[in-house]
């Protein structure tokens, strides 16, 4: 049984959401209205982030200093090492910022991990823009995570584990074979009947990984959808 891992970044690997932390310190007025519009479903995450990134007021040195203070789950490097030792490839798949993710990972000696995310670009006017080369038709996200969990023959027999925490992981959770879930993703998996295990962090994931690889986690009954009130 061959496995690969798709891993979210913001709120999953990182302790805090990187974009939110940048906006709260360096966002010009207007970013909160975009956030409210996204949460209310009036716009998608790609449109929201594109507008918010354009409102960031900081130079490269300020950005780098901020990123160098972002903390990650202390168990993540050990989890990556455990997965690599087991021959299980891991890819960061995020609706966040590639530059931020890559810089943070490099600080922890993880610069070799493949990262698929939105591209943060410096504009000629001195500001910032967002490019989303991994968007997909009909998907409102900047990074369509579902493209990395193609069903059927495209996987060539490979099973996919998703590790995530929130709304950007809901859609792809329906397409993978198993989920290690944090925060809001736990409730989504429970309600949708998706096979999952709740984790508080990557120390839990380290303990669960051998059970996934030997098939014992898959032998457990699937979680039942949450009861609908009468």
| Predicted pLDDT of residue 151 | 65
| Predicted pLDDT of residue 184 | 94
Domain 3-213 has CATH 3.40.50.460: no
User: Three-state SS for 97?
Assistant: strand
Give the span between the Cα atoms of 219 and 180, in whole angstroms: 16
Enumerate the domain spans of the chain.
3-213
| Predicted pLDDT of residue 170 | 95
| Predicted pLDDT of residue 230 | 34
| Predicted pLDDT of residue 157 | 76
146, 139 contact by CB (below 8 A): yes
Residues of the chain with pLDDT under 70: 151-155, 220-230
Give the span between the Cα atoms of 31 and 54, in whole angstroms: 9
Beta bridge partners of 181: 164, 198
H or E segment and range at residue 117: strand 115-122
Q: Which of 129, 104, 105, 130 is nearest to 117 (CA)?
A: 130
């Amino acid at each position: 049984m061959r496995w690969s891992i798709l891993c979210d970044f913001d709120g999953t690997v990182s302790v805090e959401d990187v974009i939110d932390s940048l906006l709260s310190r360096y966002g010009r007025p207007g970013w909160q209205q975009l956030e409210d519009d996204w949460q209310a479903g009036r716009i998608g995450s790609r449109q929201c982030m594109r507008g918010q990134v354009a409102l960031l007021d900081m130079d490269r040195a300020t950005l780098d200093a901020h990123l160098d203070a972002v903390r990650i789950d202390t168990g993540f490097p050990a989890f990556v090492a455990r997965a690599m030792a087991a021959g299980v490839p891991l890819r960061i798949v995020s609706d966040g910022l590639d530059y931020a993710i890559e810089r943070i990972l490099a600080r922890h000696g993880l610069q070799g991990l493949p990262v698929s995310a939105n591209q943060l670009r410096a504009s000629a006017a001195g500001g910032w823009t967002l490019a989303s080369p991994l968007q997909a038709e009909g998907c409102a996200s900047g990074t369509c995570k579902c493209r990395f969990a193609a069903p059927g023959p495209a996987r060539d027999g490979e099973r996919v584990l998703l590790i995530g925490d929130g709304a950007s992981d809901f859609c792809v959770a329906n397409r993978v074979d198993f989920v290690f879930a944090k925060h809001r993703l736990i409730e989504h998996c429970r309600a949708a009947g998706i096979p999952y295990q709740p984790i508080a962090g990557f120390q839990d994931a380290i303990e669960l990984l051998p059970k996934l690889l030997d098939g014992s986690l898959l032998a457990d009954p699937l979680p039942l959808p949450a009861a609908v009130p009468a």
